[in-house]
Amino acid sequence: MSDETPVSVTMQKDGDVAVVIVNNPPVNALSWHVRQGLKDNFEAALADGGVKAIVLRCDGATFIAGADISEFGKPPRGPDFNAVLNMIEASSKPVVAAIHGTALGGGLETALVCHYRVAVPSAKLGVPEVKLGLLPGAGGTQRLPRVVGVEAAATMTSLGDPLPAAKAKDLGLVDELAGEDSLAADAIAYARAKIADGPRPTRNRAVFGDVAVIEQLKTANAKRWRGFEAPYANLACVEAATRLPFDEGLAFEREQFMKLMFGSQSAAQRHIFFAERQAAKIDGLPKNTQLRDIRKVGVIGAGTMGGGISMNFLQKGIPVTIVEMQQEALDRGVGVIRKNYDASAAKGRFKPEQVDQMMGILTPTLNLDDLADCDLIIEAVYEDMGVKKDIFGKLDTIAKPGAILASNTSYLDVDEIATATSRPGDVLGMHFFSPANVMKLLEVVRGDKTAPDALATAMAIGKKIGKVAVVAGVCDGFIGNRMLKPRQVEAMKLLMEGATPAQVDKVHVEFGMPMGPFQMSDLAGVDIGWHRDPNRIESIRDALCAEGRWGQKKQAGFYDYDEKRNPSESARVAELIEQFRAKAGVEKREITDQEIIERTLYPMVNEGALILTEGKAQRASDIDVVWIYGYGWPVYRGGPMFWAGLEGTDKIVAALEKHGFEVAPLLKEKAEAKTGF
Ligand code: T1G
């Protein structure tokens, strides 16, 4: 081993058992120096006549959690992973994997070439590669069917969810459960007991189970896997294991792995893996920033948003005081929370006693003064600046010193709201997405005067309640809704010029969005932001609203809906569009799908470039995270800014200029340099 190789693998001896220990914080990823260390130490253990059995374990929080994803796409370094694994599997001495934390991906593949596996009950074992647009590329798809059978292997690889140790033991993936605090000793004892049995190479075991599960998984997950390549590649490899000799199956797996590895989908999904973690970091945050303690939360407004927001905290055991102005609204809001929890309990997500517990720490009140002991207060009332400033003015006197005062506003100026208080440092935005107890995105809006510790606390509590929190700057629509605007404006123009709502939506759905602009408008409500004057008809939308076509909630919007909310194209809407087109003297023309992409998606990239230049997002990858987790942008396209790199920023600029858009300087720069963001 050359001297510049970091020492991340060592070996200890316990009598006739060698213990190989990996120590590569934070997750013991299989970085090149780990592979090198495994090779060197196993070679030493195998050459040592006094060693009769070998234990592989890890220091730190977890067993090996996979290949080092940060190495992907870089020049290969250190020994080939498969070669190291084959050496371990071919060991003439029994090898036992001692598992704690999460044995994931290449980590589980390493455990699979060990002849036996011992795990603590709290351990989890899985192959999440599919979530990175990959598949287990070190024999996992060929060895799992030989240990847990085809059904479990197909499910594990194509869905990527880890198994708890007990379930893994039921499946034969774990041979013995160790004591939570005695894993090393138990694994050594287990290894010693296996000396007589000797090694049990996984590759020599027979595949078993029913291959029919593969088609069943495809049918059951068709909607969820729409547009994804990796789930199907995983299943193809497991299917290959049922009919090919091991080495041929390994070769097939390798070929499928390389295809995915060098494809755009995995690059996109790996980008989002890191982007999501990067989003949690606040650039320039003073090192010694202390988080404020959030023991109790106040929520003002018990409507859809206030109720959903409250649920996030209740299910993490954080007490909530929820305030409404009228008893009837308060009772209705609390009733909806209870109903939602009961529905989740009926699906097995909560036990009935958990629902009672959560409802037990919810305190409904009509009195704003009852928020005096809250550490975080989230206002979720009507989107009106006057109403919000009035509330924040009152909170200024009611809330205790140091309480964070957050508005759930989806676009209003947080700095202006802060002027209603004498403590602008405590004021920020926490923009949840509806339904707030389901959608993962949380835009944390940083006001000019927001204190760093208040911002850091809001980001941390967002993560604690299971959200993906992203820092946004104050501007109209922050990050997500600001980019939605040009998309919606152009979509409406396309209707005037000859496209139909169904054509525009179809292009977006085929692109991978869960729904198109008009389906989204019908779902959210066509009347959101409408001036409410049925006699003032200045746009197609005004005309729809004036006729009560407010969307799904009225069984009519851009589409007609039956009682099950199944949409159908509306002759009335076509007539309205025709009338507007005639009045405006616009000639209907054929609109291509490509033009729809260029005029609805490219302007989003343009707006994202402006957001970056104005400093309203910390980094381009934050914008991607917003669109993946807030709007369902297909993760295999990596988010708008990442996708711009795949699409070609030069191609985007050329199209935007062709359609008469003013191109953001930063986007122009990228186009000239022929790079992405
Ligand atoms: N490679 C590189 N860095 C990783 C990493 C990995 N596999 N996993 C985590 N990190 C970094 C992460 O970016 C963060 O960095 C820090 O570790 C803590 O992570 C050949 C090809 C293990 C459940 O997909 O699911 O094996 O932000 O915040 O919440 O077939 O990390 O601190 O700078 O997530 O405690 C397969 C991915 C890889 C597992 C821990 N393995 N990781 O969660 O910490 S592909 C995975 C996770 C593969 C083989 C194939 C989670 C975790 P920073 P964290 P956590």
**Number of neighbouring beta carbons within 10 Å of residue 288:** 6
Number of domains in the chain: 4
If asked whether residues 91 and 221 sit together in one domain, one would say yes
Is residue 607 over pLDDT 60? yes
68-103 pLDDT per residue, tens: 999 988 898 999 999 999 999 999 999 999 999 999
Atom of ligand 1 nearest to the CA of 131: 24
CA of 264 to the centre of ligand 1 (A): 20
Q: What are phi and psi of 44, to 5 degrees?
A: -65, -45
Mean pLDDT, residues 220-224 taken together? 97
Amino acid at 515: M
The predicted pLDDT at position 286 comes to 87
The answer to the question of residue 403 being in a domain is yes
Which of 588, 622, 653 corresponds to the end of one domain? Answer: 588
Average pLDDT across the chain, whole number: 96
The predicted pLDDT at position 74 comes to 87
CA of 69 to the centre of ligand 1 (A): 7
If asked whether residues 319 and 252 sit together in one domain, one would say no
Which of 69, 122, 270 has most ligand 1 atoms within 8 Å of CB, for mutation?
69
CA of 129 to the centre of ligand 1 (A): 11
Q: In the chain, pLDDT over 70 holds for what percent of residues?
A: 99
Residue nearest to atom 47 of ligand 1 (CA): 65
CB 329 within 8 A of CB 382: no
If asked whether residues 110 and 172 sit together in one domain, one would say yes
CA of 103 to the centre of ligand 1 (A): 11
The predicted pLDDT at position 2 comes to 56
Ligand 1 site residues (CB inside 6 A) read 26-27, 29, 65-70, 102, 104-106, 109, 128-129, 132, 134, 136-138, 140, 274, 277
Residue closest to 304 by CA, chosen among 383, 406, 417 = 383
| Among the ranges given (65-74, 124-133, 134-143, 232-241), the one the predictor scored with the smallest mean pLDDT | 65-74
The predicted pLDDT at position 641 comes to 98
CA of 26 to the centre of ligand 1 (A): 9
If asked whether residues 471 and 551 sit together in one domain, one would say no
If asked whether residues 161 and 247 sit together in one domain, one would say yes
In whole angstroms, what is the distance from residue 638 CA to residue 620 CA? 11
- Find the CATH number of the domain harbouring 519: 1.10.1040.50
If asked whether residues 520 and 600 sit together in one domain, one would say no
The predicted pLDDT at position 3 comes to 59
If asked whether residues 176 and 226 sit together in one domain, one would say yes
Determine the structural domain holding residue 389 and report its residue range: 297-475
Atom of ligand 1 nearest to the CA of 107: 26
The answer to the question of residue 14 being in a domain is yes
Residue nearest to atom 18 of ligand 1 (CA): 26
CB 207 within 8 A of CB 242: yes
The answer to the question of residue 482 being in a domain is no
The answer to the question of residue 655 being in a domain is yes
CA of 105 to the centre of ligand 1 (A): 10
CA of 31 to the centre of ligand 1 (A): 12
Mean pLDDT, residues 177-202 taken together? 97
Atom of ligand 1 nearest to the CA of 136: 30
Q: Which helix (H) or strand (E) holds 9?
A: strand 9-14
Give the angle 100-217-466 at the CA atoms, nearest 5°: 50
User: Which tokens sit at 516?
Assistant: 């198109």
Atom of ligand 1 nearest to the CA of 135: 30
- Find the CATH number of the domain harbouring 317: 3.40.50.720
Which of 543, 561, 588 corresponds to the end of one domain? Answer: 588
The answer to the question of residue 286 being in a domain is no
β-partners of residue 567 are: 561
Is residue 425 over pLDDT 90? yes
Is residue 12 over pLDDT 80? yes
CA of 100 to the centre of ligand 1 (A): 15
If asked whether residues 358 and 212 sit together in one domain, one would say no
In whole angstroms, what is the distance from residue 70 CA to residue 616 CA? 27
If asked whether residues 471 and 536 sit together in one domain, one would say no
Is residue 259 over pLDDT 60? yes
Atom of ligand 1 nearest to the CA of 67: 26
Q: Is 105 helix (H, G, I), strand (E, B) or coil?
A: coil
Residue closest to 141 by CA, chosen among 214, 64, 212 = 214
pLDDT band at 242 (very low <50, low <70, confident <90, very high): very high
If asked whether residues 428 and 564 sit together in one domain, one would say no
pTM assigned to the model? 0.94
If asked whether residues 320 and 221 sit together in one domain, one would say no
Which of 22, 24, 27, 278 has most ligand 1 atoms within 8 Å of CB, for mutation?
27
Mean pLDDT, residues 411-439 taken together? 96
If asked whether residues 87 and 217 sit together in one domain, one would say yes
CA of 147 to the centre of ligand 1 (A): 25
Q: How far apart are the first and last CA of the chain?
A: 39
The answer to the question of residue 491 being in a domain is no
Atom of ligand 1 nearest to the CA of 104: 41
Buried b (16+ CB within 10 A) or exposed e, 484-493: bebbbebbbe
Mean pLDDT, residues 421-431 taken together? 98
In whole angstroms, what is the distance from residue 166 CA to residue 476 CA? 50
Which of 239, 262, 285 corresponds to the end of one domain? Answer: 262
Q: Residue for token digits 């305030």?
A: 323
Q: Which residues are catalytic, by number?
A: 109, 129
Atom of ligand 1 nearest to the CA of 72: 21
Is residue 5 over pLDDT 90? no
The answer to the question of residue 103 being in a domain is yes
The answer to the question of residue 198 being in a domain is yes
